[in-house]
Structure 1
Amino acid sequence: MSKIDTMSVNAIRILSADGVQKANSGHPGLPLGAAAMAYELWAKHMKHNPANPKWPNRDRFVLSGGHGSMLLYSLLHLFGYGLTKEDLEQFRQDGSLTPGHPEYGHTVGVEATTGPLGAGMAMAVGMAMAEAHLAAKFNKEGYPVVDHYTYVLGGDGCMMEGITSEAMSLAGTLGLGKLIVLYDSNKISIEGDTDIAFTEDVKKRFEAYGFQTLVVEDGNNLEEIGAAIEAAKADLTRPSMITIKTKIGYGSPKEGMASAHGEPLGADNIKALRENLGWPSDTPFEVPEEVYENYKSIAKKNAQIEEEWNKLFESYCKEYPEMKKLWDQYHDENAAKHLIDNEEFWAYDDKADATRNLSGQVINRIKDHLPNFIGGSADLAPSTKTLMKDEESFSKDNYGGRNLHFGVRELAMAGIGNGMALHGGLRPYVSTFFVFSDYVKPMARLSALMEMPLTYVLTHDSIGVGEDGPTHEPIEQLAMLRAMPNFTVYRPADATETIAAWYYAITSTKTPTALVLSRQNLPQLAGSSKEALKGAYIISDSKKEVPDAIIIASGSEVQLGLGAQEELLKEGIDVRVVSMPSMDVFEQQSEEYKESILPKNVRARVAVEALSYFGWGRYVGLDGTTIAMNSFGASAPANVLFEKFGFTVDNVVKAVKSVL
């Protein structure tokens, strides 16, 4: 290792340790141990240009072990991505660009929000799938305009998490040859030596997945690391996993100790680290100018790589103008907005149908308008109705397919969907039964946090599931998803509302959307309209200027509200019926609009929804009531269950009378 390489690696270590020490909070162990592999990758093998962090053909790097964020921040600073020394000094402080775990969209150069271990592994698989798909769609002979690798760095914790097994099993099945996993193997977790809970042969596990597996015995040997990376890049038929054996907290007195993982080293240990590394300065955050010059020269070479790609892409666009037009369509986040006035898109058959079936019809309309629309389910497409007709399946032999098959891997599916959305150029959706949103939730939360407009198609939405019983009947899941910030939930009542929900989802640019859909058939409702795009609207109004009461419902229960309205009118009670497919969207409307739908002077209110009560209090108030579930479901035909649990017109009528 040359002197300048040694100093450049140690600069990462010193800056990382200083950042954690100044914050008096953080994780110095990973950056100290993994600095050499990170430097070797970023400096000598990875295509990236700090001057244009978003150029489309850059290699992607995901730090799955997001607790080691100072490693990434140090790299971004040294390579000139815009993070200043002052930013490093503000590590983990309010409003800084260097939060405790990397946040996509907050810090330039961060490709994914990581922290929950294993999440970055799944997102990297999604990025590699996106690259493979776009390459299949756009590359022409002599014009590899989509040709880059995805690298993901994770440690023992990532390897223990189940999401990694799910995602990497699929990656191997798909033969994603441009996915390279760097395994920071230091055999330490928070509680001590990993042998207390983790003794399997990870290399053999990845071999079983179908990976090329490589081992670097000395995590500080740049030549050995570099040779392994090049071997990984050379095998385009299989993804690769490189086990790199490191020492957590390398160079400090805490080297190899669990205490190096998640606490500052301490002033004395920082001083010893500097001495052990032969660092020339005792001043925190001070890096010799020659080290900065080295990083600048590397960045300059990378800028030339992008310039070469720009010339290639310019020639490509001239030779294939139709592909340039398609490229622009793929990368236009507003491409679907024209559908608002498309009569064919909004058309529907008047027969009763399940909203999952109606959603399937909409999916097959969208795919003809959005060529970058891609998605699938966790082995449930026949049930969730998410298969695109006349489209091929994405597979090892056909990366151009638009139908994705995730297998029974809900958690990884959502993480992979995030990765595909993060990559850019695609509009992905994922799907499973609504009750299994419990498996999906951690990655859905990351969708919301990253502002990724991934669409979640969640079917079999209530006790209407019927005979499968309480294990498959969601109760609390709707409240769970509604509680999440920056996450939109739609539970449509019929065809028009289902189309509106899909329109909202595919035109969203900053918010993920869940479409919660019925298994059972629902009637097409006379009063439903595009007003569903406002989250709630009057589907059938009272004839009085001030209605006697308001019935609020979503999904399959809207019809109950309408039936109750008819029965009540016979008794001289005139009520308004409000369909509320999305609380989230309704809350975004103006106060004037919300008042026009739910006027404060009408306190007699009844909410009806065949899921948990939780969340309806803000709409029915202290004087209203809710017909909802306060228990798990049961195994019986759906019509039996709706009557058993009180979801009938008669019960809604009684509830309205009780609040008058």
Structure 2
Amino acid sequence: MSMPPLDLNQARKAVDTIRLLAADMVEKASSGHPGTPMEAAPAAYLLYTRHMRHNPANPDWAGRDRFILSCGHASALLYSMLHLTGYDLSLEDLKNFRQLGSPTAGHPEFGHAPGIETTTGPLGQGVSVGVGMAMGLRFLRKRVSDRLFDSTIFALCSDGDLMEGVASETASLAGHLRLGNLVYIYLDNRITIEGDTSLAFTEEVATRYLSYGWQVQHVEGENLQDLDRAIARARHSPRPSLIIARSHIGFGAPNKQDTAAAHGAPLGAEELAAAKRFFGRDPEQSFVIPEDVAAHMREAVARGKALEKEWQQAFEAELKQNEALKSWQQAANGELPAGWDDLPTFAAGEKLATRQASGKVLNALAEKLPFLLGGSADLGPSNNTVIKEEGSFTACTVGRNIHFGVREHAMGSIMNGLAHIPGLIPFGGTFLIFADYMRPPMRLAAMMQRQCI
């Protein structure tokens, strides 16, 4: 996707509008997190207007890139971006932020508003689900169509995301698998609720991710040009990418920037007014979207429609000769092939371990369902979760047997990501006692009604 030169004046005006729109949402609700949206606005602006392939008129377009707000507490940022770029989310919805029955919940809820790719809030889950999405898209790209599923997973993540153990588990596997369709922007603001991150988090994040096999870049979070170039480089990396953006929580709030006070409470009337003056805006007005900013941001609608139209034409041309694509279309529509339920039967009292029976049924299903894939947390031979006559999912191959390693928590989150990719049916197995490690993603799968086995 070719991009015009970055108009810095236009970009900065749009970025400042995003910041203040989010801050106004939190202020009106008397609840929420203004600081992270204010620091992350430059990255979100660049992704939605310059780097992501998305169609606000059809948020479920199969050929789109995906955006995950892993630091879900910054939901006001996501809602601002969705409204400004033309998704079906009104300004009135933004004014009802965190209100009962509103689509703009305190943390993004999958299915509550268009453009929310997955439920986030429990830190670490978003970046982990993203790994599953990236694996699913690689699977479709290599086994169905290289052109149609060449999509990228973008995410914004925080210090808290990278402290959570599940993020380490999935980052390790992503690096091992060389998931080059994964681009994460880490908001390195060095602030937690209790104070400076140095209280509990002094590791060198860049070195850790380099050791996982990721590409790592450093940028200043307010430098739009450098951040723009870093995202472009990341998109062409054969490895997963982490862009470490030195950012400033509550940017523009003169007394609360770079402090924990900007994190989890409204700025307050006086501080918000001071922030508006800092950005050259009228401190007496709220929810202001300048006409030129609105027009510029809504360009995403026409651009998205054109991108999907081009993709749809390629899809229809390829569908005429690609049997795998025909099978995928059937699966993506929720259709099961004839005879899929012709399964083994077991007599009452038959001496057969349940895991052996499970393995027989799993393999019978795998013969009929080409988009059933999964594995175990290093227990495949023990709990019979290996698909016979199928290869492994590796950095070089896309067999249907996934080796999660001894990473139960990661397995659950990755399954959720796989289940977000149309047509795929993921499965995962472990022993019951180890399933305790998987409770957070299992809960999220139930909340999102994802098709995980």
Asked if Structure 1 and Structure 2 have the same fold, meaning a TM-score greater than 0.5 normalized by the shorter chain, the answer is yes
- Note the aligned Cα RMSD (angstroms): 1.4
Which one has a bigger Cα radius of gyration?
Answer: 1
**Deviation per CA, 1:219-247, whole angstroms, max 9, x where unpaired?**
111110111011111112x1111001100
Counterpart for residue 403 of structure 1: 401
The AA in structure 2 aligned to 1:444 is M
The one of 28, 37, 41 aligned to 1:31: 37
**Deviation per CA, 1:630-651, whole angstroms, max 9, x where unpaired?**
xxxxxxxxxxxxxxxxxxxxxx
Higher relative contact order, structure no. (Cα contacts within 8 Å, ≥ 6 residues apart): 2
**Deviation per CA, 1:368-390, whole angstroms, max 9, x where unpaired?**
11110001000011111100000
SS of alignment partner, residue 423 of structure 1: coil
SS of alignment partner, residue 402 of structure 2: strand
Moved more, 272-281 or 41-50: 272-281
**Deviation per CA, 1:244-281, whole angstroms, max 9, x where unpaired?**
11000000121001010000000011101111011257
The AA in structure 1 aligned to 2:361 is V
Counterpart for residue 428 of structure 1: 426
The one of 175, 180, 185 aligned to 1:177: 180
Moved more, 39-48 or 295-304: 295-304
- Determine whether 1:265 maps to 2:271: no
* Aligned 8 A contact 2:56 2:300 in 1: no
The AA in structure 2 aligned to 1:328 is Q
The AA in structure 1 aligned to 2:243 is I
Counterpart for residue 385 of structure 1: 384
Counterpart for residue 311 of structure 2: 309
Aligned equivalents of 2:63 and 2:173: distance in 1? 24
SS of alignment partner, residue 182 of structure 1: strand
Q: Using a 3 Å threshold, how does the CA distance of structure 1 residues 324 and 162 change in structure 2: closer, same or farther? A: closer
Aligned equivalents of 1:446 and 1:410: distance in 2? 15
- Structure 1 unaligned runs (5+)? 456-660
Using the TM superposition, give the Cα deviation of residue 436 of structure 1 relative to its aligned residue in structure 2, in angstroms.
Answer: 1.0
Counterpart for residue 4 of structure 2: none
SS of alignment partner, residue 270 of structure 1: helix
The AA in structure 2 aligned to 1:363 is L
Aligned equivalents of 1:324 and 1:211: distance in 2? 31
Counterpart for residue 656 of structure 1: none
* Aligned 8 A contact 2:143 2:324 in 1: no
* Aligned 8 A contact 2:85 2:299 in 1: no
SS of alignment partner, residue 288 of structure 2: coil
Counterpart for residue 331 of structure 1: 332
**Deviation per CA, 1:598-640, whole angstroms, max 9, x where unpaired?**
xxxxxxxxxxxxxxxxxxxxxxxxxxxxxxxxxxxxxxxxxxx
The one of 287, 290, 314 aligned to 2:289: 287
Using the TM superposition, give the Cα deviation of residue 349 of structure 1 relative to its aligned residue in structure 2, in angstroms.
Answer: 6.4
- Determine whether 1:200 maps to 2:206: no
Counterpart for residue 415 of structure 1: 413
Aligned equivalents of 1:299 and 1:332: distance in 2? 25
- Determine whether 1:353 maps to 2:352: yes
The one of 113, 123, 126 aligned to 1:120: 126
Counterpart for residue 111 of structure 2: 105
SS of alignment partner, residue 183 of structure 1: strand
- Determine whether 1:88 maps to 2:94: yes
Aligned equivalents of 1:337 and 1:200: distance in 2? 54
**Deviation per CA, 1:351-382, whole angstroms, max 9, x where unpaired?**
41011100000000000111100010000111
SS of alignment partner, residue 319 of structure 1: coil
Aligned equivalents of 2:326 and 2:48: distance in 1? 33
- Structure 2 unaligned runs (5+)? 1-6
**Deviation per CA, 1:276-310, whole angstroms, max 9, x where unpaired?**
01125732112111111001123312221111111
Aligned equivalents of 1:104 and 1:169: distance in 2? 26
Using the TM superposition, give the Cα deviation of residue 336 of structure 1 relative to its aligned residue in structure 2, in angstroms.
Answer: 6.3
Aligned equivalents of 1:291 and 1:83: distance in 2? 17
TM-score w.r.t. structure 2 length?
Answer: 0.96
SS of alignment partner, residue 7 of structure 1: helix
Aligned equivalents of 1:330 and 1:394: distance in 2? 20
TM-score w.r.t. structure 1 length?
Answer: 0.66
The AA in structure 2 aligned to 1:411 is H
SS of alignment partner, residue 430 of structure 2: strand
Using the TM superposition, give the Cα deviation of residue 42 of structure 1 relative to its aligned residue in structure 2, in angstroms.
Answer: 1.2
Counterpart for residue 464 of structure 1: none
Matches within 5 A, 1:164-563: 164-216=167-219, 218-236=220-238, 238-253=239-254, 254-280=256-282, 282-320=284-322, 322-335=323-336, 339-340=340-341, 342=342, 345-348=343-346, 351-398=350-397, 400-455=398-453
Aligned equivalents of 1:276 and 1:201: distance in 2? 33
**Deviation per CA, 1:89-111, whole angstroms, max 9, x where unpaired?**
11000000100000001111000
- Determine whether 1:134 maps to 2:161: no
